[in-house]
Structure 1
Amino acid sequence: MGIIVQKFGGTSVATPECRDLVVAKIKTAHDKGFNPVVVVSAMGRKGESYATDTLIDLARTAYKDIASRELDQILYCGEMISAVIMTGTLQAAGLDAIMLTGGQAGIITDNNFTNARILKVDPSRILSLLRMGKIPVVCGFQGATIDYEFTTLGRGGSDTTAAALGSALDAEMIEIYTDVDGIMTADPRIVSTAKILDCISYGEVCQLAHQGAKVIHPRAVEIAMQKNIPLLVKSTFSDEPGTLITNIVPEDTTESNVNDRVATGVTYLANIAQIKVNLHDSLNNIASFNIFKSMANNGISVDLINVHPGQIMFTVSEELADKAAAQLREFGCDVQTTLDCAKVSVVGGGINGVPGVMASFIEALSINNIPILQTVDSHTSISVLIKKSFVHLAVTALHEKFNLSC
């Protein structure tokens, strides 16, 4: 019997009615002859009693700068509560389920509390439980150091847990259950004609996730890709087939290659600030090195980097804009900051080498009178920086221009 890893997000396990739907998904996999390994997130969303953000807020009522190690101790509780309740629900349905923390499931991490990286996964305990006919219910988002310290994996960590376990167990499939029917060509709240993608490559979905799409964490995709394990993103609340993430084209598809289309989707990231640094130093490379080293030393992640003679442009999250500008002024730099920006991207495995893609991109924005502050492109994406007030118009225009509703 093959192994299937099924991950259920916070909305999927939030209520008894939702958990009954989860039981049905697990039973279906079991009845098809799979050995299910279940991964769960904390129940609900911010404001609900056991949600991750609620626990963070609770810890910070004591001290807003509480140490990361201590924060992880309370964050561990959200998934543990969820896993215990889900295990009990499965047991009540006649299934022999057993709850495991991330550490008990063999997930060993470094000690970077609240954003730990997985060092290795020891699947021996889960394999032993599967041989006994049990269904392991694993706390997502968690691991443990070699010294048995509790750690968490950062935002989207339950997806990462599922992918890491799927890889270690040589699973036949990793299913990511959420509250949407699959990965869409754009945010349906912005583009009413956005459609669900039947199939997408690992590379494309990683780009979509990095550029703002929130359906699956890119780390999870990268882990699954290492062993070419298919990922299926689908809804707990419907029987829609979902979106298959793979490099192997299903036999019943009419596409000769998942990357044949030029564009796959349009996505965006808001609350971004643009930083312009005017250089007066003739040693441009040395100045650039010092600027970016300074950002790194101060924990400021940079994006949309353009380096020109006499000027450097890049973006940071808006909440770090003042910190970045202050640090640069300490170097005597001439700094200009533009707030209320957003990054809008078109992603597609077919972008590379296709003439006219950039022209179409710019045309879509130009005819809608959307000023472009900055551009950057790669083999699989084209991105622009615009004012946040133009996001909805830009996403809609690009979705239409690249015929993504068809």
Structure 2
Amino acid sequence: MRIIVQKFGGTSVASPEVRELVLHKVKRAREQGFSPVVVVSAMGRKGAPYATDTLIGIAQSAFKQIAARELDQIMYCGEMISAVVMAGTLQAAGLEAVMLTGGNAGIVTDANFNNARILKSDPARIICLLRQGKVPVVCGFQGMTNEGEFTTLGRGGSDTTASVLGAALNAELVEIYTDVDGIMTADPRIVDNARILDCISYAEVCQLAHQGAKVIHPRAVEIAMQKNIPLVVKSTFSDAPGTLITNIAKEDISNAVVIDRVATGVTYLTNLVQIKVQLAGTTASDASYKVFKTLADSDISVDLINVHPGQIMFTINADHTDKAAEKLKQQGYQIEVLANCAKVSVVGGGMREVPGVMANFIEALSNNTIAILQTVDSHTSISALVPQNDVGAAVKSLHEKFGLSN
């Protein structure tokens, strides 16, 4: 049995007309000899009546700090509505479709409501349905604890559901359908000549996703990578081939470069603040631990970390500024806060041990008089903190400098 998992995002199931396009994709997969498993997100985006953000707003209208468990109960509803409607669409076309919740599909999680981790995936029920010639339509974003509690997997959770099922079922392919034709070298709203990538490695797309690209969730890629299940990101609205995500080399991309390109794409994150913590009069290692432990205990995630004698620099989401400042000052630290920052990153598996990559990165920004507030790099990425007002110019200049439009 050749199994394919087809995940359709919110815009792909938002209307009867679009659901007909989904039906066409499912029927074509069957015609090609596949047994498809369909995974769906909630219908539409924020403002749509059954979108997840809309449901969250309804719950929080009663109490802004509603408990995470109760919030999961209403967030669970968006995918259930979508899956029922999609199953009905397939049934109307003569396909035997069966709607399954995440729990029905065998996805077992911990009890970390709103951001549950998957403990195991038992595909027995799905396999049984496939052997009967039926099409399982699975609610993405969902799981269930061993105690029978509904849980959700966090933002991008439907991508994670698709990858988990693909791995559990030893699927031949996982297709991630969205409203774009594939993964692009940069945000086309900023860079006019951004292009679709034909192929990208797991490592590269994880970096792009972690650095701000929103086409696919990095958690989904990491799961698929564990069993080497190919992913394809493509559009519901066209027949474009999309972007294949797989192992380009037998070894990890950071250890073996088999492509000529140094850079794969440019991405960005906004709404950041830079915090500098002065460590004067303290033992540096002890102070560093206390700073990051204070933030971790406050559920504040940090990025772009630089530790120097006498000073620590890092970035956080701007929404956590007041909380972070308060907690650090309570510990007796002197801090400086720089608001309105953004991170721009160049990602590429071909960067390893290539001379001049950092020089080109700095030159591209300097030639456009873009202030560099902080940098960090790895074997597959270089990132810089810049003023948020300059993020568009920074992305354009880096895209041009690294020849990504060619």
- TM-score, normalised to structure 1, is 0.98
Percentage of matched positions with identical amino acids: 72
Q: 1:18 to 1:258 in 2, by over 3 A?
A: farther
Q: 1:253 maps to what in 2?
A: none
Aligned to 1:252: none
Return the offset for 1:259: 4.4
- 1:198 corresponds to: 198
One-letter amino acid of the counterpart of residue 289, structure 2: F
Paired residues of 2:257 and 2:349 also in contact (CA < 8 A): no
In the TM superposition, residue 281 of structure 1 has moved relative to its aligned partner by 2.4
Match of 1:185 in 2: 185
Task: Confirm or deny: 8 A CA contact 1:43 1:50 kept in the other structure.
Answer: yes
Measure, in 2, the Cα distance between the counterparts of 1:260 and 1:289.
41
Structure 1 residue 165, shift from structure 2 partner: 0.2
What is the rounded CA distance, in whole Å, between the counterparts of 2:332 and 2:65 in structure 1?
Answer: 31
Aligned to 2:366: 366
1:192-247 superposed Cα distances (whole Å, 9 cap, x missing partner): 00000000000000000000000000000000000000000000000100000001
**Aligned match of 2:390:** 390
Structure 1 partner of 2:166: 166
Q: Structure 1 residue 169: deviation in Å?
A: 0.2
1:275 match: secondary structure: strand
SS for the counterpart of 1:59 is: helix
Contact between 2:200 and 2:248, CA under 8 Å: does it hold in 1? no
What corresponds to 1:100 in structure 2?
Answer: 100
After TM superposition, give the deviation of residue 330 of structure 1 in Å. 1.1
Amino acid corresponding to residue 130 of structure 1 in structure 2: L
Q: Distance in 1 between matches of 2:343 and 2:334?
A: 24
2:253: which partner in 1? none
CA RMSD of aligned residues (A): 1.2
Aligned twin of 2:54: 54
Query: Is 1:2 the counterpart of 2:8 in the alignment?
Result: no
CA distance in 2, matches of 1:297, 1:81: 37
Q: Which amino acid aligns with 1:132?
A: Q
Q: What does 1:207-356 correspond to in 2, within 5 Å?
A: 207-248=207-248, 259-356=259-356
CA contact (8 A) 1:37 1:136 kept: yes
What amino acid does structure 2 have at the position aligned with 1:149? E
Whether 1:405 aligns to 2:405 is yes
Structure 1 residue 310 displacement after superposition = 0.6
SS across alignment from 1:219: helix
Q: How far apart are 1:322 and its partner, in Å?
A: 1.3
C-alpha distance in 2 between matches for 1:132 and 1:85? 21
How far did 1:260 drift?
3.4
Q: Distance in 1 between matches of 2:259 and 2:15?
A: 39
Counterpart CA distance in 2 for 1:197 and 1:281 is 51
Provide the rounded CA distance (Å) in 2 between the counterparts of 1:279 and 1:110: 38
Alpha-carbon distance, 1:278 to partner: 1.2
- 1:358-388: CA deviations, max 9, x gaps? 0000000001000010000011100000110
Residue 119 of structure 1 corresponds to 119
After TM superposition, where is structure 1 displaced by more than 6 Å over at least 4 residues in a row? none
Query: Could you say what secondary structure the match of 1:49 adopts?
Result: coil
- Does 2:382 match 1:375? no
Contact 1:9-1:42 within 8 A present in 2 as well: yes
Give the deviation of 1:156 after TM superposition: 0.2
Q: Distance in 2 between matches of 1:171 and 1:101?
A: 20
Deviating more after overlay: 30-39 vs 256-265 = 256-265
Task: Provide the C-alpha distance between the structure 2 equivalents of 1:101 and 1:235, rounded to a whole number of angstroms.
Answer: 25
Mapped contact 1:201–1:258 kept (Cα < 8 A): no
Q: Deviations over 1:308-354 (max 9, x none)?
A: 00110000000101111111111211100011100000000011110
Name the SS for the 1:245 alignment partner: strand
Question: Contact conserved, 1:259 with 1:348, CA < 8 A, in 2?
Answer: no
SS of residue matched to 1:60: helix
